[in-house]
């Protein structure tokens, strides 16, 4: 090996060491041990491939999409030996041992770890992260293709396609995202046939949408009684109505918005107060010159038009589009694209996805830390 080749190999090794070391920073061993004890998986520590190492391995595998599993095992084993997490020259687990270790661990411990770790990142004066003291949050959903195995197909199902059904089964993921940093703070996942509102309701039940948040949403995330449940948590909401909706007009407001009530089956009174904002097109152009307003309005529980003028809320809603590229960060990493998840069983699919969310959070945490250091450096 030439000097240049050896230098490159050392740099790659250093990158892997930093990656795994940062995983340990955001997901400390103490938290892993706590969750393993809670779920009865702590006895796995005595094995050749102990559960805590399996957790870090899953995160490492999640962001290394292109290499084979054998190559990932080799790199990971070398890295943890350099970090003194494992004895030198200890046997490497093969694919069968990894599959057995993953099956023993299951998805529930990784889900609980993610629930403990995922959180908003933006500090109080982070640019574009706040409005009137409310943290801007968005929702986004996507689907991941899965190996076409019988168990995956039976549990997750096939999405509809223009002609029949898709070739591969898919898992649907709905994420609550901090808009400015594009950091996932909570998620729900399951069969592709489930409605987005099913996932939203679970996030509301877990109180992941809180009083200091301004939730930028689409109607398919907040309709059918979910709006009043969000308001009960004292969250602020701006949502785009993607279908005709009947509202009871109360009065016109000076900023052009309308104070109204809409029917909500989950409300104690059967309706909730909202402001209706007929917002301007996002990208005015010749095609919109004869169309001064969008067909469908925005609804918000910012009822005070002086505190939150319609033009500000209309502009604010389009911050929601900042997260459009979020899932591209998952599906095409810096180490190459892999559009199909590796896991061939439903519980391992969920395990792989929760590990992916944890690994993505670690990278976002690192990026935000660098941003903070740049901001505070003289």
81/113: higher pLDDT: 113
Does residue 323 share a domain with residue 287? yes
Assigned domain for 339 exists: no
Assigned domain for 251 exists: yes
Which of 285, 283, 286, 259 has its CA nearest to residue 272?
A: 259
pLDDT of residue 323: 76
Does residue 194 share a domain with residue 159? yes
Residue-wise pLDDT tens digits, 270-281: 788 999 998 655
Assigned domain for 36 exists: yes
The arithmetic mean of pLDDT across residues 199-219, rounded, is 90
The arithmetic mean of pLDDT across residues 28-42, rounded, is 91
Does residue 245 share a domain with residue 217? yes
CB burial of 302-328 (b: ≥16 within 10 Å; e: otherwise) equals beebeebbbeebbebbebbebbeebbe
Assigned domain for 124 exists: yes
Assigned domain for 46 exists: yes
Does residue 366 share a domain with residue 224? no
Does residue 122 share a domain with residue 88? no
Does residue 246 share a domain with residue 185? yes
Q: Which domain holds residue 10?
A: 3-116+354-376
8 A C-beta contact, residue 118 and residue 89: no
Assigned domain for 51 exists: yes
Residue-wise pLDDT tens digits, 213-248: 999 988 777 776 778 888 888 889 998 886 567 889
Alpha helices, DSSP H only, in the chain? 3-26, 29-38, 51-63, 69-82, 95-105, 108-117, 150-156, 196-205, 219-222, 226-232, 310-317, 326-331, 346-376
Angle between helices 51-63 and 95-105 (to 10 degrees): 110
Residue-wise pLDDT tens digits, 115-171: 999 999 998 989 889 999 999 999 888 889 999 999 999 999 999 887 777 889 999
Does residue 224 share a domain with residue 107? no
Domains in the chain, number: 2
Cα dihedral 175, 179, 180, 181, rounded to 10, equals: 0
Does residue 299 share a domain with residue 267? yes
Does residue 318 share a domain with residue 233? yes
* Per-residue pLDDT at 9 exceeds 70: no
Assigned domain for 338 exists: no
Which of 361, 360, 350, 363 has its CA nearest to residue 111?
A: 350
Which of 279, 301, 78 has its CA nearest to residue 209?
A: 301
Does residue 371 share a domain with residue 275? no
327/33: higher pLDDT: 33
* Per-residue pLDDT at 334 exceeds 80: no
* Per-residue pLDDT at 16 exceeds 90: no
Does residue 111 share a domain with residue 248? no
Assigned domain for 192 exists: yes
Q: Using a cut of 0.85, tell me whether the model's pTM lies above it.
A: yes
Does residue 108 share a domain with residue 126? no
* Per-residue pLDDT at 327 exceeds 80: no
8 A C-beta contact, residue 54 and residue 101: yes
Residue-wise pLDDT tens digits, 347-361: 999 999 999 999 999
Q: At 108, is the pLDDT very low, low, confident or very high (cuts 50, 70, 90)?
A: very high
């Amino acid at each position: 090996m030439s000097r240049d080749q050896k230098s490159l190999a050392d740099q790659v090794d250093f990158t892997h060491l930093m990656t795994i070391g940062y995983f340990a920073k955001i997901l400390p061993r103490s938290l892993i041990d706590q969750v393993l004890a809670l779920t009865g998986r702590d006895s796995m520590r005595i094995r050749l491939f102990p559960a805590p190492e399996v957790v870090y391995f899953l995160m490492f595998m999640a962001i290394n999409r292109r290499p084979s599993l054998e190559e990932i095992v080799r790199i990971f084993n070398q890295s943890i030996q350099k970090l003194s997490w494992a004895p030198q020259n200890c046997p490497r687990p093969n694919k069968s041992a990894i599959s057995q270790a993953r099956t023993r661990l299951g998805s529930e411990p990784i889900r609980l770890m993610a629930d403990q770790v995922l959180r908003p990142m933006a500090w109080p004066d982070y640019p574009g992260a706040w409005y009137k003291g409310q943290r801007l949050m968005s929702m986004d959903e996507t689907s991941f293709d899965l190996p076409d195995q019988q168990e995956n197909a039976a549990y997750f199902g096939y999405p509809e396609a223009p002609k029949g059904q898709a070739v591969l089964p898919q898992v649907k993921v709905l994420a609550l995202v901090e808009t400015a940093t594009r950091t996932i703070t909570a998620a729900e996942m399951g069969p592709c046939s489930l409605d987005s509102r099913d996932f939203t309701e679970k996030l509301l039940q877990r109180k992941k949408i809180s009083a200091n948040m301004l939730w930028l949403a689409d109607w398919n995330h907040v309709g059918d009684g979910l709006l009043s449940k969000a308001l009960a948590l004292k969250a602020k909401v701006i949502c785009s109505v993607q279908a005709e909706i009947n509202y009871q007009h109360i009065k016109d407001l000076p900023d052009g918005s309308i104070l109204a009530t809409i029917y909500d089956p989950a409300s104690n009174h059967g309706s909730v107060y909202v402001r209706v904002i007929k917002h301007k097109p996002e990208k005015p152009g010749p095609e919109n010159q004869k169309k001064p307003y969008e067909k469908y309005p925005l609804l918000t529980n910012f009822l005070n038009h002086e505190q939150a003028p319609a033009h500000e809320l209309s502009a604010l809603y389009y911050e929601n589009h900042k997260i459009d590229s979020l899932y591209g960060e998952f599906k095409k990493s810096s180490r190459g694209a892999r559009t199909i998840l590796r896991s061939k069983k439903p519980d391992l699919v969920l395990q792989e996805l929760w590990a992916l969310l944890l690994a993505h959070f670690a990278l976002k945490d690192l990026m935000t830390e660098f941003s903070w250091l740049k901001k505070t450096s003289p």
